[in-house]
Amino acid sequence: MNKRNKWKSGILAATAMVVLLAGCSSGTNGNGNNSGNGDGGDKAVTLRFSWWGGQERHEATLAAIEAYKAIAPNVTIEAEYQGFDGYEQKVKTQLAGGTSADIMQLDVPWMNELSRSDSFLELKDLPGLPLDGFDSAFLDNFGTYNDKLVALPTGVNAYALVINKTAADSLGVPTDIRWDWERLYEEGKKLHEKDSSKFLLLADHGHLMGDFTNMLKQRIGDQWIKDDYTLGFAKEDAVAVLTWMDKAIKAGVYQPLGEADLFYGKTEQNPKWINGDIVMISSMSSTLLSLRNVLSEGTEVTTSLPATALDAKASSVVVRPSQLIAISKKSKHPEEATAFLNWFMNDPEAAAILGDVRSVPSSSKAQQAAVEAGKIDPAITKAVEEGLANAGIVENSISTNSEISAILQDTIEKVAYGRNTPEQGADELIEGLEKKLSELQGRK
Amino acid sequence: MTDARNGSNKTLSYVLLVVLGFAMVYPLIWLVVSSLKTNADIFGSSSLFAGSYVTDSYAKGWAGTGQYGFKDFYLNTFVLVVPTVIFTIVSSVVVAYGFARFRFPLQTILFSLMMATLMLPDSTIMIPRYILFNKMGWLDTYLPFIVPAAFATSAFFVYMLIQFFRGLPRELDESAKIDGCNSFTILIRILLPLCKPAIFSVGIFQFIWTWNDFFNSIIYISSVKKFTVSLGLRMTLDASSAVSWNQVLAMSVVSIVPCIILFFMAQKYFVEGISTTGLKG
């Protein structure tokens, strides 16, 4: 009796559960649709397009998608947009699971890893996608992986000095000169001596590392770590660069690293920058909008070419795509996706709608149209034009390796905090790099 | 004399409590006040109040960016969270009751298995789970959240309820059986009313965790139409664009309201639940 009751109630509970489940799953399934419902043919086609961005990029891209309806009425573009947080993980998971959007916005640093699995459509020589508007070296350097062109750059992004012109003028810092390292040192020292709460440059450890490698590359005129996993510099080069840095940090050219590093990865939230106590930041031109946005209204922001030694053997200005766009190899409608991509990248109408929401367009046709439509911020244009005209060595992948960066960071921080002299720092750096490089080579 | 000492003691403890309480609540106060400030004021000064305030941040934030606004995100979140919480409670209670009151074959092994899933880091099963739900065609729906909840997959809650059931005297079950209850009615009529505190704890925890969950939502939900509040909040955050922080903060304020309301409504049981299950928040 007891046992039977137990069974009965068990079955009852189980049935109840199943019924509940069935009810809920059919309910939610009703409005859940997977993209592949247009089954071939040239009738109704649904394409998914995913990107990350901020408010302006979302609005402009949605407006462009809306305008595309007039051009290809049979194509519906489903927009999947979000902020930057989590986008990388999401795309990687989607690519692993074969559920990525047909057209997706990607970032350059992810590409080596992502292109290993051959998940993108080869974009070269497609009839519907002329590439003559793009700089071919740019495509080779950033869109081509494993000898296949798999992604197109949406816009050009250049390394520049972002200068708070209003603050610079009131503090007597010149803004119309070409900066070299000695000039930075002198102006910074002068500024800090006059008022110890002011600094010329904002630099967290990431910026310091950038300045270090730039200065080094200008001295040696080559990659600082060569493709064959050997060092491109000698000890005296590293000592010279670190000595300048040590001198600059002690003279108050840079905001102390301890303060600046509190805002690592969110430079624009640094109160000294917001209040105009720091005059400039070396940064990619794409961050200019967010850096300017936090300043009080009416503040003028301009850019300048990053500091370059007078006797530099090579330019170290990094010019890279702001983002890339690729088409999934698994897309059921590659032709429609290509047609949309072509319109999105090359068409004057699209360019006029999109403006500079993905930085200055990299296709010359689109760039011209966007400039004519007055949609491009002059400060950003200036940075990109100067950057392109002085584009320097394209970083090879080994010198941006995360384990290499960790060693460099350690060296820079020890010197910046005064724990190591420049000589000790250079010794440690070379020793650490050589050990790590041989280890990495062994792993290959 | 003793009175005077008591009085000063009391004053001291009140002062201490007020100071500590203020320190605890300060981030929330900052959040609310900052939702009315401009970007320059939010990051530029450390003082709580600003020179000038904006009033449109709530309306603009609520309208959202592009096609969908926070009204949609709110509704979506409820559609996701409410079934998840209900299923979690029902399934966890049933499973916990089984482990706490019955002997059955393989009980020890099953119990260890369940405890093992409690120790398993979430990230290790991320990809397999994603592939599984993909094969079932559940991506971009709320099923990956709701269905697992119906099968008592939150070992933490099951374990918590087992502990609670074990604390209830078996004599109650026996007397109920004498009065003619079967095992199911014992659960419904005798044990459930007694474990209300524990059930409320489960409900509140699951509600808050699901409500705030960002990572799972972003992995499983791709269309903006189905975004939850936690996804909507981060929708416009990007390093290279101008972020209207006051709108983001304003919507953060709005998004914590349901959790706060729920907590205060169920506070009586929740606190009891924490003290009786030996659980520390």
Domain spans of chain B, in order of start? 67-276
CA diameter of chain B: 77
The rounded percent of chain B whose pLDDT value lies above 90 is 46
Amino acid A39: pLDDT: 41
What value does the mean pLDDT take over residues B258-275?
81
Answer whether B222 sits within 8 Å of A83, measured CB to CB. Answer: no
Whether the CB of B134 is below 8 Å from some CB of chain A: the reply is: yes
* Domain chopping of chain A, boundaries: 45-154+322-346, 158-319+393-443
CA distance A93 to chain B (A): 7
Amino acid A25: pLDDT: 42
pLDDT band per the 50, 70, 90 thresholds, residue B205? very high
Q: Locate the chain A residue with the closest alpha carbon to B86.
A: A20
Q: Which residues of A touch B67 (CB under 8 A)?
A: 62, 79
CA distance A294 to chain B (A): 5
Q: Which residues of B touch A53 (CB under 8 A)?
A: 236, 238, 241
Burial (CB < 10 A; 0-12, 13-18, 19+), residue A157, is: buried
Q: Which residues of B touch A6 (CB under 8 A)?
A: 182-183
Q: Decide the pairing of beta strands A45-52 and A75-82.
A: parallel
List all residues of chain A from 294 to 313 with a beta carbon under 8 Å from chain B: 294-297
Answer whether B218 sits within 8 Å of A82, measured CB to CB. Answer: yes
CA distance A25 to chain B (A): 7
Q: Which residues of A touch B235 (CB under 8 A)?
A: 58, 81-83
Of the listed ranges A187-191, A307-311, B29-33, B61-65, the one predicted with least confidence? B61-65
CA distance B79 to chain A (A): 9
The question of ipTM being above 0.85 is answered as: no
Answer whether B43 sits within 8 Å of A268, measured CB to CB. Answer: yes
Residue that has been written with the tokens 């740019």 in this structure: A138
Amino acid A33: pLDDT: 39
Residue that has been written with the tokens 């880091």 in this structure: B121
Q: Which residues of B touch A25 (CB under 8 A)?
A: 143, 147
Spatial distance between the Cα atoms of B246 and B268, rounded to a whole number of angstroms: 34
Whether the CB of A58 is below 8 Å from some CB of chain B: the reply is: yes
Answer whether A81 sits within 8 Å of B46, measured CB to CB. Answer: no
What value does the mean pLDDT take over residues B57-76?
87
Tell me: the pLDDT tens digits for A203-247? 999 899 999 999 999 999 989 999 888 999 999 999 999 999 999
Amino acid B279: pLDDT: 52
Average confidence score pLDDT of chain B: 87
Tokens of A102: 């047909």
Tell me: the pLDDT tens digits for A255-291? 999 889 888 878 888 889 988 999 999 988 888 888 8
A130 near A294, Cβ under 8 Å?
Answer: no
What's domain B67-276's architecture?
Orthogonal Bundle (1.10)
Q: Is the pLDDT confidence value at B247 over 80?
A: yes
A vs B, Cβ pairs < 8 A, gives 168
Write the class of the CATH domain A158-319+393-443. alpha beta
Give the residue from B144, B158, B143, B156 showing the smallest Cα distance to B91.
Answer: B158
List all residues of chain B from 5 to 64 with a beta carbon under 8 Å from chain A: 39-40, 43-46
Q: Which residues of A touch B183 (CB under 8 A)?
A: 5-6, 9
What's the predicted TM-score (pTM) here? 0.74
Answer whether A289 sits within 8 Å of B241, measured CB to CB. Answer: yes
Q: Is the pLDDT confidence value at B7 over 80?
A: no
Q: Which residues of B touch A95 (CB under 8 A)?
A: none
What residue ranges of chain A have pLDDT lower than 70?
A: 1-42, 444
Nearest-CB residue to B43 (from A28, A83, A274) = A274
Answer whether B239 sits within 8 Å of A290, measured CB to CB. Answer: yes
Bigger pLDDT: B109 vs A400? B109
Spatial distance between the Cα atoms of A353 and B52, rounded to a whole number of angstroms: 34
Tokens of A280: 């400039």
Q: Is the pLDDT confidence value at B273 over 80?
A: no
Q: Please name the helix (run of DSSP H) or strand (run of DSSP E) that holds residue A266, with its range, or none.
A: none
Bigger pLDDT: B67 vs B76? B76
- Asked if the domains A45-154+322-346 and A158-319+393-443 are classified in one and the same CATH topology, the answer is yes
Pick the CATH number of A45-154+322-346 from 3.40.50.1860, 3.50.50.60, 3.40.190.10, 3.40.50.300: 3.40.190.10
Length of chain A: 444
Counting Cα atoms < 13 Å in the Cβ hemisphere of A292 gives: 21
**Three-class SS of residue A332?**
coil
DSSP A393: P
Nearest-CB residue to B242 (from A13, A54, A83) = A54
Answer whether B219 sits within 8 Å of A9, measured CB to CB. Answer: no
